[in-house]
Chain A
Amino acid sequence: MRDHPDGSRNVELIVLGVLILGLGAMLVYGLSRVISGDMTHCFEKKNATVWPTGVELAVVSVIGFAVGRLLGYLRKSRYGGPIVLSRQVDPDPFIGVGLACFLALATVLLAYETFAVFQTSGNPPPVTSYVRCAAADNPWVSEIAAFIIGLLLGNWIWYPSAKRPWRPWDKS
């Protein structure tokens, strides 16, 4: 794998930073809406998550996932081999800590979701209820957030294993 030229690496970091800041801003906006709203009734807003908003959210997420993959091809065509942390490479400690924090947060949220869906009373509301409310309250912001998350996930876990999309059996 070739080294990232400094200029390109900076561009990638800036783009990633902008995307994460954008997600953070949308999260703050969502939290401000949560404070002024009643989350216990989100489960009733089925129309907001099934049709058309629910289907739009699903489609936008899948498109984001595919764009993340295409972005992977662009990066791979510039840098060569797969971005894999081998045992010979000393990983950046900043990335390690960030990844550990991200996974810890995901675990806590999933544990909360498990506890919430187990309560048949609907209180506390599960995370899915917050998504329902977000989709009903502001579909555009929700769809942009879904696209960005899909893009990041597609680029991360579906990074191309071959250089050319039309020849996926090629080895890198």
Chain B
Amino acid sequence: MRSLRVAYAIARKDLLSEWRSREMVPALAQFVVLALVIANFGFQIDSKNAPAIAPGVLWLALVFAGLVAFGRAFTAEREQHTLEAVMMTAAPPTAVFMGKALGAALLLVVCEAVLLPALTLFFGTPLSAELVIAVLLATIGMSALGCVFAAMVAQLRARELLLPLLSIPLWIPFIVAGGRAVQVAMGGDGTLDQALWLLVDFDILFLVLTSLAARFVLDD
């Protein structure tokens, strides 16, 4: 219970500070729309090839928006040494970490709330409940993993360089399963259930692993 309260307080603090400054969300929203613009030029999109390309564009935009969101979640704390202050309290490190991950994940969800309708608007792909569920399920695991590495690289040199190198390879299971689910949700062949359950499995696996690892990346 105490852990839940700590995690909630940390997440609330991050979201409140974002609400007051309103820096990240508008920038990320513009970023994902820009990603769609780049995709348009890169792939020469027309009404015929759009459904085939849209899932890939969705994941590319999501991966890079995630990298920015998770990276920023810890750099501000590092610069002002606020995380050290939090770690000096009796709060359990796992709860602090889960709070940070929850805050970053919710920022990414806001960003997805822009990305998914924009994809429907610009690419003409259907926006269904299955699509939203697949993206949200992937967001859970990607946020947990991304925040482990973000917490780590915030303490290292060349952190902008290292975060994608560490995160993207381990996000691949989510992109494989999520990519399959999104393709099916956008009208491709295959079964949706299998891909969604695979996402749930990966979420559970990496939530357990990250909660075990949190202590070692935060408490230094």
Partners in one complex: no
